[in-house]
């Protein structure tokens, strides 16, 4: 069922199944055609052979019969040349009866010579004596009572055969009546003496029984279904196995050659007529055998072969169908998978075409997707690396796969960070400064990526700063040297080819992803030494970490980090950062003075943090810790660190506690601020943001979230409410009220009032009085 | 794909298997080994054999309708009864042809199971054939496995005597004439209508014969106005072996038993008298000028041409046959004449009279037969009551009906719808009319000879000869027979030729003494001695 459905769905004859089937059938057809061709050849050979063997058989019969005739003729010759006989012939009237009887014994001797001669007689003309090996009589008794020719009278026989000259004359088969019955007899006559033409004294007569020859002919296969004729040189039938002599008359004109065969329809039956002519006496031997009999074996073989071929074809077709179905099934399944239950769209010639088109389109889609992804990759990558550098990534939660998906592969687990500071940018263009920077960064990034290969990832950090995250095989001096060489090469190329001058800072090699931020810090710290070392120089953190101790490292970036962590109450990170700063600086073996400077630096950061606290709280915190007193009093660096840490700790504790109510408080502060300053004409979102040290857009959304209305609307509301308080006082004009509620002139107030209240301030005042 | 391969492989092997079956089905040949039986079997265990080969002459009476004896109803019924298929081998031709082919068969050494022949007269005799292993001695086998024949022989010691050799061997399953009437069947036959036409009496003496023959010659009894009548036809062999007219002179032309003494008739003076008479008759044209150049066809021709006045012939093949052939003739009538005597009231010394068993149509079992006991059992069937009826009368309902306890031939036999003469119609069914390994029933001949003239003939011929001098069926031993044959073969040639010449006048009768002297010179006396010895032994059986 499903197969037919499939065929119907695909249209007629053009699907893969039918193609497979057809190809199998063609393969099947080849041997069948070859077989049929061969069979045809063989058949014609077989037919020819059958006909030939038929003719050959006829020729054998001819030879056998000829031998018999030959034998008979030999015998007749022997008898004819017998001396005693000739003596008798010469003196036939004078010899005694006994001499004839005596000669019978001689005659008897010939009896044993030929087994096919039944009767032979010698007739003596003058004495009218007829001798056979067993009797002596006269012609009358013989021809009347012993052997009577049915169709010839005594006189006719006497005149035609018993007298006159005969030389091996055969008289065609004739019916002869005897006391024992009737027989068809061929008569051979030979006048005596042999060779004597005129003075004929007798005759030798041999009777050949047709029956005997017929029996011999019966050996010829199929003759009992057909007939055989023997005709003499005058085309008279000498003997035949058939009573129907007219058939021969039909055939005789066709017997042109010495031998051959042809088919002829006789009495509605196809007959094969074979004939051969005797070389001896020009007799023609003709056999007529039904074609079907001659070709019976051939036809038998033919029907066998044809039925075998038919069976083979049927089996072949079944097998072809089976194989085609077997091989088509996977394609069918694939097609089903592709199109599902939907009717396929578009035009296609067959299933294979459908599959091809489907694959091509899905490949297109995939490559498009890939392109999109690859377009996004650098951004994602640099974003990720940036976060790695800043230590904002929880390394443990990242799986290698996810990293891979961003186009980042870390072959090894050792890292270092190279920071590139552009000292002098590209000289190519002079017009646009921004474009110049972009170009420069692009050149450096490309070049460095090219040089470092997979080991380095370059990201743009700032306008004049690039960072290379370098992946190391191990933590060895070779690696460092290698890295240095690469960096030098980079610098050389940049300077010589592009005229770009850079400073490079290289961190130490650290193990593990989580140490990348440390690397970054190191490189940034090293870069700080640019001020000391000058531009266009490679600075190793290794070189600067053991410096003389007159400086310390506390960059602005780190301070921002601390501020951010602290404001969020994230002490853990604050402490980590602090530890880093301490360890960095302690390793440098700071001098105490420098250490104090760092302490104040850190303290001032802390004080900056306090600005987020209310005045009272600020005061209380300062009083509680009294840092300005305790910090300078610290005698050791450890003490100092502890003190500073505790300051941050308390702050973070406070911030954490405040975290929940902080939003509300901030909102209240903003509201209070607005209510205090609504009469200030300059009051705006920007001013408030400045006042609270917040991003204006953040503030806007924060306020809307907390208060439900936009901050500008809130300001407007406060001013309208205030104006409403002032409006009943008729002594004040609208123009006088407007500045008092923060509007530059009356027009602004009126427009806003009308918008909010639906009426003008004048109208509002009228309504209040009424 | 693997499934495909599997399916194809299975298919392939199926086809291969099919091809093998077709190819092998033809080769079903088997070989059987046969074991030679040496011990005599228990008679009760012996059954009929499966198949047998049987060499026998196909008698003319049967040959008319049968290609082989298998076409004869008696054998067909016998095959149904016994389940034995017989492969008959028939020699072609007749007379000496058969002797020739018989000798050829013996020489070839390839013998069929059964051979039907006159074993009594085979060269070197039957005892020698047994000794050679050509055939086997049957005494014990008949006793044990052929109860019917055994019983008959025991009840008829005279017959048993004829089937036993001087050395006491029974060598054949014999053809036995079961009645005296069956033993006389030849004699002189005369055209009764010619006698009547010429108003003559039936001749009884030589002189009367001469008168009658002369009358036939000159009286134009056939009424055609020509003197073409042939008054008498007797062929030389009949004179020699049976003795028409010879018997009138008190002798037999060949060996005869003159009270226990063997004599050779042709050297007796009486024979010269006989020859003188015949020579006179020949010269006068009474005896057929071609009497010595005669075959059956010519005899027929002379009878049917209404030329022949008298002849020596059979009751059946003569009187019966010619009456049949000439049934369109308005007056044709044949009758038997008494055997001629020399004197009025005399009696012929010898004439045709057969012995119950003479050796003809008797079957010997070949020395190469593997199962003589079974063959004996098969052959004995013909001597049983059932077989006796079958071979004498054929099939009840077909060829005969029992009327008042008498097996009467049906119209199928007596008035054959296909126009067959009775002898040929009988030949289609039975063997009684010419002989075979069986006992001939007199009731056959009683019906066969349906013409009154035939029945008369038997009586006339039976009565008018003494037949005392006839030689019994003696057997000679191997050496005797060798010697006898070697003497007689040359002697017979000379004898035949000379006797004809005497009769035809080619040789003057004055030379009769020379003839006798020549015969003596050729060893006729030794031949007589040999015959005498055999006769003595026969008498002593």
Cα A692 to the center of its chain, rounded Å? 70
Q: Taking CB atoms and an 8 Å limit, are A135 and B8 in contact across chains?
A: no
- B356 contacts B473 by C-beta, under 8 angstroms: no
* Residue the block writes with tokens 């005698």: A635
pLDDT score, position B29 = 38
Strands (E), A334-402: none
Q: Is A593 helix (H, G, I), strand (E, B) or coil?
A: helix
Whether the pLDDT of residue A11 is over 50: the answer is no
Whether the pLDDT of residue A671 is over 60: the answer is yes
Whether the pLDDT of residue A589 is over 60: the answer is no
Residue range A443-494, pLDDT digits in tens: 888 888 888 877 788 888 777 888 888 888 888 888 888 888 888 888 888 8
Name the closest residue on chain A to residue B301, using Cα atoms: A145
Q: Taking CB atoms and an 8 Å limit, are B300 and A315 in contact across chains?
A: no
Q: Taking CB atoms and an 8 Å limit, are A322 and B7 in contact across chains?
A: yes
* Better-predicted residue by pLDDT, A446 or A224: A446
- B131 contacts B363 by C-beta, under 8 angstroms: no
Task: Give me the percent of chain A exceeding a pLDDT of 90.
Answer: 1
Q: Taking CB atoms and an 8 Å limit, are A141 and B304 in contact across chains?
A: no
* Better-predicted residue by pLDDT, B449 or B460: B460
Nearest Cα to Cα of residue A19 among A465, A404, A324:
A324
- B502 contacts B515 by C-beta, under 8 angstroms: yes
Name the closest residue on chain B to residue A112, using Cα atoms: B97
Spatial distance between the Cα atoms of A522 and A583, rounded to a whole number of angstroms: 11
| Helix, strand, coil distribution of chain B in percent, nearest 5 | 50, 15, 40
Q: Is B200 helix (H, G, I), strand (E, B) or coil?
A: coil
pLDDT score, position B410 = 93
For residue B446, being part of any structural domain is answered with no
Q: Does B332 lie in the same domain as B203?
A: yes
Q: Does B383 lie in the same domain as B323?
A: no
Q: Taking CB atoms and an 8 Å limit, are A319 and B500 in contact across chains?
A: no
Nearest Cα to Cα of residue A227 among A293, A278, A183:
A293
Q: Does B255 lie in the same domain as B234?
A: yes
**A102 vs B contacts (CB less than 8 Å):** 497
Domain that holds residue B269: 186-352+467-540
Spatial distance between the Cα atoms of A515 and B287, rounded to a whole number of angstroms: 166
Average pLDDT for chain B: 87
Name the closest residue on chain B to residue A312, using Cα atoms: B15
For residue B85, being part of any structural domain is answered with yes
If one counts the domains in chain B, the total is: 2
Name which of A144, A146, A180 is nearest B298 (Cβ-Cβ).
A146
Spatial distance between the Cα atoms of A694 and B165, rounded to a whole number of angstroms: 167
* String of DSSP letters for A601-615: HHHHHHHHHHTTS-H
B256's enclosing H/E stretch is: strand B255-258
Nearest Cα to Cα of residue B382 among B394, B371, B391, B393:
B391
Q: Taking CB atoms and an 8 Å limit, are A322 and B504 in contact across chains?
A: no
Distance between B487 CA and the closest CA of chain A, angstroms: 21
Whether the pLDDT of residue B404 is over 80: the answer is yes
Name the closest residue on chain B to residue A100, using Cα atoms: B293
Spatial distance between the Cα atoms of A26 and A32, rounded to a whole number of angstroms: 10
- A21 contacts A261 by C-beta, under 8 angstroms: no
Q: Does B196 lie in the same domain as B123?
A: no
Whether the pLDDT of residue B27 is over 70: the answer is no
* String of DSSP letters for A512-581: SGGGHHHHHHHHHHHHHTHHHH-SS-EEEHHHHHTS-SS-----HHHHHHHHHHHHTT-HHHHHHHHHHH
- A203 contacts A192 by C-beta, under 8 angstroms: yes
Sketch the domain layout of chain A as residue ranges.
Answer: 56-293, 348-545, 549-666, 678-769
**A98 vs B contacts (CB less than 8 Å):** 292, 500-501, 504, 506
Spatial distance between the Cα atoms of A153 and A612, rounded to a whole number of angstroms: 171
Average pLDDT for chain A: 80
Spatial distance between the Cα atoms of A293 and A298, rounded to a whole number of angstroms: 10
Specify which of A64-68, A190-194, A440-444, B368-372 reaches the highest per-range mean pLDDT. B368-372
For residue B461, being part of any structural domain is answered with no
Structure token digits, residue B43? 């008679």
Specify which of A250-259, A320-329, B2-11 reaches the highest per-range mean pLDDT. A320-329
Name the closest residue on chain A to residue B322, using Cα atoms: A179
pLDDT score, position A6 = 46
Distance between A474 CA and the closest CA of chain B, angstroms: 55
Q: Is A463 helix (H, G, I), strand (E, B) or coil?
A: coil
Q: How long, in residues, is chain A?
A: 770
Q: Taking CB atoms and an 8 Å limit, are B297 and A136 in contact across chains?
A: no
For residue B14, being part of any structural domain is answered with no
pLDDT-derived band at A586 (thresholds 50, 70, 90) equals low
**Among the listed ranges A54-68, A541-555, B273-287, which one has the minimum average pLDDT value?**
A541-555
**Topology of domain A56-293, CATH:** Beta-Lactamase (3.30.450)
For range B414-439, the mean pLDDT: 89
CATH code of B129's domain: 3.40.190.10
Nearest Cα to Cα of residue B79 among B70, B66, B88, B89:
B70
Among B440, B458, B482, which residue terminates a domain?
Answer: B440
Nearest Cα to Cα of residue A527 among A547, A516, A541, A508:
A541
Interface test with A, best of B96, B104, B236, B293 (most A CBs within 10 A): B293
Nearest Cα to Cα of residue B515 among B280, B270, B267:
B267
Residues 6 or more apart whose Cβ sits within 8 Å of residue A463:
A437, A441
pLDDT score, position B97 = 81
Q: Does B215 lie in the same domain as B99?
A: no
Residue range B2-15, pLDDT digits in tens: 555 555 555 565 55
Nearest Cα to Cα of residue B299 among B330, B336, B280, B326:
B326
Interface test with B, best of A122, A132, A146, A322 (most B CBs within 10 A): A146
Check: CATH 1.10.10.60 for A678-769? yes
Interface subset of B 274-313, CB within 8 angstroms of A: 289-290, 292-295, 297-298, 300-302, 304-305, 307
Distance between A141 CA and the closest CA of chain B, angstroms: 7
Among B440, B456, B475, which residue terminates a domain?
Answer: B440
Among B440, B455, B476, which residue terminates a domain?
Answer: B440
pLDDT score, position A635 = 63
Q: Taking CB atoms and an 8 Å limit, are A146 and B4 in contact across chains?
A: no
Q: Does B482 lie in the same domain as B408?
A: no
Residue range A133-156, pLDDT digits in tens: 888 888 888 888 888 888 888 888
pLDDT score, position B11 = 59
Q: Does B213 lie in the same domain as B148?
A: no
**Among the listed ranges A205-214, A327-336, A405-414, B501-510, which one has the minimum average pLDDT value?**
A405-414
Cβ-in-10-Å burial (0-12, 13-18, 19+) of B280 comes to middle
Q: Does B206 lie in the same domain as B159?
A: no
**B295 vs A contacts (CB less than 8 Å):** 132, 134-135
Spatial distance between the Cα atoms of A461 and A445, rounded to a whole number of angstroms: 11
Spatial distance between the Cα atoms of B361 and B138, rounded to a whole number of angstroms: 16
pLDDT score, position A343 = 60
The helix/strand count (H/E) of chain A reads as 29, 18
Q: Does B271 lie in the same domain as B238?
A: yes
Residues 6 or more apart whose Cβ sits within 8 Å of residue A619:
none
Residue range B134-186, pLDDT digits in tens: 999 999 999 999 999 999 999 998 889 888 888 889 999 999 998 888 889 89
Cα dihedral sign for B382, B387, B388, B393? negative
Name which of B289, B293, B301 is nearest A141 (Cβ-Cβ).
B301
pLDDT score, position A344 = 57
Q: Does B199 lie in the same domain as B170?
A: no
- B191 contacts B334 by C-beta, under 8 angstroms: yes
Specify which of A399-413, A721-735, A738-752, B126-140 reaches the highest per-range mean pLDDT. B126-140
pLDDT score, position B245 = 93
Spatial distance between the Cα atoms of B231 and B72, rounded to a whole number of angstroms: 39
pLDDT score, position B23 = 43
Residue B4 contacts A where some CB pair is shorter than 8 Å: yes
Spatial distance between the Cα atoms of A237 and A229, rounded to a whole number of angstroms: 7
Distance between B412 CA and the closest CA of chain A, angstroms: 20
Angle at A233 between CA A229 and CA A237, to 5 degrees: 30
Phi, psi (deg, nearest 5) at residue A40: -60, -45
Size of interface A-B (CB pairs under 8 A): 70
Structure token digits, residue A108? 């008897």
For range A671-688, the mean pLDDT: 84
| ipTM score for this prediction | 0.73
pLDDT score, position A547 = 56
Cα dihedral sign for B34, B38, B42, B43? positive
For range A342-370, the mean pLDDT: 80
Whether the pLDDT of residue B366 is over 80: the answer is yes
Phi, psi (deg, nearest 5) at residue A328: -80, -30
B54's enclosing H/E stretch is: strand B51-55
**B498 vs A contacts (CB less than 8 Å):** none
Residue B3 contacts A where some CB pair is shorter than 8 Å: yes
Name the closest residue on chain B to residue A324, using Cα atoms: B4
For residue B126, being part of any structural domain is answered with yes
Q: Taking CB atoms and an 8 Å limit, are B297 and A146 in contact across chains?
A: yes
**B4 vs A contacts (CB less than 8 Å):** 322-323, 326
Interface subset of A 379-408, CB within 8 angstroms of B: none
Spatial distance between the Cα atoms of B299 and A141, rounded to a whole number of angstroms: 11
Residues 6 or more apart whose Cβ sits within 8 Å of residue A155:
none
CATH code of A348-545, in short, is 3.30.70.270
For residue B348, being part of any structural domain is answered with yes
Distance between A233 CA and the closest CA of chain B, angstroms: 35
Q: Does B337 lie in the same domain as B209?
A: yes
Q: Taking CB atoms and an 8 Å limit, are A135 and B4 in contact across chains?
A: no
Residue range A95-143, pLDDT digits in tens: 888 888 888 888 888 776 656 677 888 999 888 899 888 888 888 888 8
pLDDT score, position B30 = 38
pLDDT score, position A262 = 82
Q: Does B215 lie in the same domain as B339?
A: yes
Spatial distance between the Cα atoms of A299 and A234, rounded to a whole number of angstroms: 38
Structure token digits, residue A728? 């009943």
Phi, psi (deg, nearest 5) at residue A280: -80, -55
Q: Taking CB atoms and an 8 Å limit, are B8 and A319 in contact across chains?
A: yes
Name which of A100, A135, A326 is nearest B294 (Cβ-Cβ).
A135
Angle at B530 between CA B529 and CA B531, to 5 degrees: 90
For residue B425, being part of any structural domain is answered with yes
| Helix, strand, coil distribution of chain A in percent, nearest 5 | 60, 15, 25
Residue range B216-241, pLDDT digits in tens: 999 999 888 888 899 999 999 999 99
Spatial distance between the Cα atoms of B279 and B287, rounded to a whole number of angstroms: 9
Residue range B303-332, pLDDT digits in tens: 988 999 999 999 888 898 898 888 888 899
């Amino acid at each position: 069922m499903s197969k037919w459905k499939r065929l119907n769905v695909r249209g007629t004859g053009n699907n893969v199944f039918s193609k497979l089937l057809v190809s199998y059938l063609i393969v099947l057809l080849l041997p069948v055609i070859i077989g049929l061709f061969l069979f045809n050849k063989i058949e014609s050979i077989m037919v020819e052979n059958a006909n030939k063997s038929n003719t050959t058989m006829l020729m054998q019969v001819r030879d056998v019969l000829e031998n018999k005739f030959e034998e008979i003729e030999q015998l007749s010759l022997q008898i004819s040349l017998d001396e005693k006989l000739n003596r008798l012939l010469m003196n036939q009237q004078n010899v005694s009866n006994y001499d004839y009887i005596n000669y019978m014994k001689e005659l008897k001797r010939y009896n044993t010579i030929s087994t096919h001669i039944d009767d032979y007689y010698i007739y003596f003309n003058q004495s009218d004596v007829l001798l056979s090996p067993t009797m002596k009589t006269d012609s009358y008794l013989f021809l009347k009572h012993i052997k009577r020719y049915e169709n010839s009278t005594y006189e006719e026989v006497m005149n035609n055969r018993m007298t006159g000259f005969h030389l091996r004359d055969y008289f065609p088969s004739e019916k002869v009546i005897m006391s024992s019955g009737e027989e068809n007899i061929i008569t051979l006559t030979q006048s005596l003496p042999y060779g004597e033409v005129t003075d004929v004294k007798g005759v030798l007569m041999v009777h050949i029984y047709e029956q005997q020859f017929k029996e011999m002919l019966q050996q010829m296969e199929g003759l009992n279904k057909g007939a055989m004729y023997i005709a003499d040189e005058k085309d008279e039938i000498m003997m035949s196995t058939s009573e129907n002599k007219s058939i021969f008359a039909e055939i005789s004109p066709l017997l042109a050659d010495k031998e051959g065969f042809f088919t002829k329809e006789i009495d509605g039956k196809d007959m094969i007529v074979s004939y051969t002519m005797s070389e001896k006496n020009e007799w023609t031997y003709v056999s007529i055998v039904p074609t079907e009999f001659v070709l019976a074996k051939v036809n038998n073989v033919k029907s066998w072969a044809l039925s075998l071929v038919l069976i083979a074809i049927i089996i072949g077709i079944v097998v072809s169908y089976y194989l085609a179905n077997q091989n088509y099934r996977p394609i069918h399944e694939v097609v089903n998978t592709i199109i599902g239950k939907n009717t396929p769209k578009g035009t296609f010639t067959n299933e294979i075409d459908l599959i091809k088109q489907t694959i091509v389109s899905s490949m297109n889609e995939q490559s498009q997707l890939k392109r999109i992804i690859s377009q996004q990759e650098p951004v994602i990558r640099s974003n990720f690396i940036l976060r790695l550098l800043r230590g904002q990534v929880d390394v443990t939660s990242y799986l290698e796969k996810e990293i891979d998906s961003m186009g980042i592969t870390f072959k090894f687990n050792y890292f270092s960070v190279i920071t590139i500071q552009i000292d002098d940018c590209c000289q190519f263009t002079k017009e646009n400064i921004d474009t110049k920077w972009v170009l420069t960064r692009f050149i450096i990034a490309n070049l460095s990526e090219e040089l470092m290969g997979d080991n380095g990832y370059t990201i743009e950090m700032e306008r004049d700063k690039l960072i290379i995250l370098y992946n190391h095989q191990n933590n060895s001096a070779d690696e460092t040297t290698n890295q240095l060489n690469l960096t030098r090469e980079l610098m050389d190329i940049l300077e010589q080819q592009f005229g770009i001058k850079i400073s490079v800072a290289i961190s130490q090699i650290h193990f593990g992803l989580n140490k990348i931020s440390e690397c970054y810090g190191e490189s940034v710290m090293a870069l700080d030494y640019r001020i000391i070392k000058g531009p266009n120089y490679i600075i190793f953190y290794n070189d600067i970490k053991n410096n003389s101790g007159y400086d310390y490292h506390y960059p602005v970036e780190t301070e921002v980090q601390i501020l951010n962590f602290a404001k969020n109450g994230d002490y853990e990170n604050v402490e980590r950062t602090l530890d880093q700063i301490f360890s960095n600086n302690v390793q440098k073996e700071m001098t105490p003075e420098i250490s104090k400077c760092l302490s104040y630096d850190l303290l001032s950061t802390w004080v900056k943090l306090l600005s987020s606290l209310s005045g009272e709280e600020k005061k209380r915190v300062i009083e509680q810790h009294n840092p300005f007193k305790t910090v300078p009093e610290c005698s050791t660096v450890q003490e100092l660190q502890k003190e500073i840490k505790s300051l941050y700790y308390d702050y973070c504790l406070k911030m954490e506690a405040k975290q929940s109510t902080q939003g509300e408080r901030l909102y209240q502060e903003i509201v209070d601020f607005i209510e205090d300053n609504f009469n200030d004409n300059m009051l705006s979102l920007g001013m408030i943001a400045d006042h609270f040290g917040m991003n204006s857009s953040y503030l806007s959304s924060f306020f809307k979230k907390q208060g439900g209305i936009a901050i500008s609307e809130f300001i407007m509301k406060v001013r309208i409410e205030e104006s409403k308080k002032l409006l009943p006082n008729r002594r004040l004009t609208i123009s006088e009220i407007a500045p008092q509620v923060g509007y530059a002139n009356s027009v602004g107030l009126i427009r806003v009032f009308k918008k909010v209240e639906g009426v003008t301030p004048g109208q509002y005042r009228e309504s209040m009085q009424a | 794909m693997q499934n495909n391969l599997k399916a194809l492989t299975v298919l392939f092997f199926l086809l291969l298997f099919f091809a093998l079956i077709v190819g092998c089905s033809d080769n079903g040949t088997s070989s059987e080994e046969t074991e030679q039986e040496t011990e005599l079997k228990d008679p009760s265990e012996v059954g009929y054999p499966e198949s047998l080969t049987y060499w026998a002459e196909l008698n003319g009476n049967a040959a008319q309708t049968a290609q082989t004896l298998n076409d004869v109803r008696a054998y067909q019924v016998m095959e149904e009864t016994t389940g034995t298929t017989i492969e008959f081998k028939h020699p072609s031709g007749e007379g000496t042809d058969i002797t020739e082919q018989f000798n050829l068969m013996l020489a070839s050494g390839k013998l069929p199971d059964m051979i039907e022949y006159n074993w009594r007269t085979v060269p070197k005799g039957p005892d020698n054939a047994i000794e050679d292993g050509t055939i086997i001695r049957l005494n014990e086998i008949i006793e044990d496995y052929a109860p019917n024949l055994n019983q008959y022989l025991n009840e008829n010691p005279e017959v048993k005597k004829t089937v036993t050799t001087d050395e006491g061997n029974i060598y054949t399953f014999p053809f036995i004439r079961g009645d005296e009437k069956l033993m006389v069947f030849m004699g002189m036959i005369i055209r009764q209508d010619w006698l009547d036409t010429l108003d003559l009496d039936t001749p009884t003496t030589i002189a009367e014969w001469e008168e009658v023959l002369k009358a036939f010659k000159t009286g134009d009894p056939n009424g055609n106005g020509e003197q073409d009548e042939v008054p008498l036809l007797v062929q030389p062999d009949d004179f020699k072996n049976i003795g028409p007219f010879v018997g009138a002179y008190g002798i037999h032309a060949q060996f005869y038993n003159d009270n226990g003494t063997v004599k050779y008739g042709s050297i007796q003076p009486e024979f010269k008298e006989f020859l003188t008479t015949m020579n006179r008759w020949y010269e006068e044209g009474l005896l057929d000028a071609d009497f010595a150049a005669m075959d059956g066809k010519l005899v027929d021709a002379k009878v049917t041409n209404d030329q022949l006045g008298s002849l020596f012939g059979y009751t059946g093949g003569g009187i019966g046959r010619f009456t049949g052939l000439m049934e369109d003739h308005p007056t044709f009538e044949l009758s038997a004449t008494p055997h001629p005597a020399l004197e009025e009231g005399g009696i012929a010394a010898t004439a045709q009279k057969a012995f119950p068993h003479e050796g003809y149509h008797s079957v010997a079992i070949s020395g190469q037969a593997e199962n003589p006991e079974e063959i004996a059992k098969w052959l004995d069937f013909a001597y049983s009551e059932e077989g006796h009826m079958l071979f004498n009368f054929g099939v009840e309902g077909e060829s005969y009906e029992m009327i008042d306890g008498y097996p009467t031939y049906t119209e199928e036999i007596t008035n054959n719808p296909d126009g067959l003469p009775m002898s040929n119609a009988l030949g289609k069914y039975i063997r009684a009319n010419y002989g075979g390994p069986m006992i001939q029933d007199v009731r056959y001949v009683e019906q066969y000879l349906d013409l009154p003239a035939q029945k008369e003939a038997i009586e006339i011929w039976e009565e008018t000869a003494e037949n005392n001098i006839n030689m019994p069926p003696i057997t000679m031993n191997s050496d005797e027979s060798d010697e006898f044959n070697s003497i007689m073969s040359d002697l017979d040639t000379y004898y035949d030729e000379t006797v004809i010449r005497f009769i035809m006048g080619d040789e003057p009768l004055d030379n009769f003494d020379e003839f006798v002297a020549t015969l003596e010179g050729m060893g006729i006396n030794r031949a007589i001695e040999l015959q005498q010895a055999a006769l003595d032994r026969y008498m002593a059986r």
